[in-house]
Structure 1
């Protein structure tokens, strides 16, 4: 997957995480953060993790980054998903990031790395004739679901729970829970 051709059009603006993996023949090659559609059956393919909030994308990039594996947040429209779609037999699976899991006021960490996220999985079929202009539009139903999840996570005084917990973690140096 490369950063170059604007094949992906999103509404609203979406963000993804990428890590650069260049080679001599593909200097702009990168890998996007993906999740298995079905962790028990990896043959079902990968889904692209997408974020509506640039803050959420940056925060996730910070928690996902490890030595030799640095993630960057970019606009999804700057990413070329055609290789991912071809690998998934003409389907673009995507996980709309809605927030993070928390327990006892602490963000939950995955055993592997990063924060345990709450996602909604969607898929769109992309025929070979549409590969140069792929439209990923978050439906009104998805937007409503996203907003309901975010609204339910708010704490008193209108602060976003994830933001409030993150600020507490950053200011106090408290460790997140491990799964």
Structure 2
């Protein structure tokens, strides 16, 4: 899995980084992505002057601060797709797209703090498979696997093409979400799945 970080240097810790999170009732959830492609889209829309986000392998991030704050737990938000309304991607007033995620909580023992394995639980694996099946992307896992080998130049190209192919965006509210969108890396087009066909997940 992949995550987004931005550097927040501290005295004596010039490499200190902050991971992108989403607030939940049970504490902040570290956002993760199945492929660097969706993480790259998030980074492109969320980066600001002086606060660029970069994509990393989630397992390389040191989450001990978050785990300590949550008493030995790590909340993880798994990006499933992009929130949409009637064939249009939802956009925040800032222009950022609205992600759609599934939540899971990992129990992290002190001895495992530096070796956390980010894997899907059975429920979220089923949600991911179901979502892509309803989108007609039956070979999605092969496409995601291939994208993990792309360099920055290829990712920049693919994200630029994907955003050119977006039918439209709209500044609707969360209450208006009625679809979840996913980009087909092979067919180079967006697919929209009715929210009613999916379980209750969380917009981010």
1:99 counterpart = 2:86: no
Matched with 2:169 is 176
8 A contact 2:4–2:31 mirrored in 1: yes
- 1-structure distance, mates of 2:95, 2:29: 18
Q: CA RMSD in A?
A: 2.8
Secondary structure at 1:147 match in 2: helix
Q: Compute the TM-score of the two structures, normalised by the length of structure 1.
A: 0.74
Q: 1:29-66 CA deviation, whole Å, 9 max, x = no partner?
A: 0110001122xxxxx31110000011111011101112
* Long gaps (5+) in structure 2: 144-159, 173-204
Matched with 2:199 is none
8 A contact 1:50–1:97 mirrored in 2: yes
Q: Compute the TM-score of the two structures, normalised by the length of structure 2.
A: 0.66
* Long gaps (5+) in structure 1: 1-13, 39-43, 161-165
Matched with 1:37 is 24
Change (3 A) 1:137 1:86: same
- 1-structure distance, mates of 2:129, 2:85: 21
Matched with 1:27 is 14
Matched with 2:60 is 78
1:123 counterpart = 2:90: no
Report the more deviating stretch, 109-118 or 56-65: 109-118
Instruction: State the shift of 1:145 in Å.
Output: 1.1
Task: Write out the 4+ residue segments of structure 1 that deviate beyond 3 Å after TM superposition.
Answer: 166-169
- 2-structure distance, mates of 1:76, 1:168: 24
For these two proteins, the number of residue pairs brought into alignment is 154
Instruction: State the shift of 1:120 in Å.
Output: 0.4
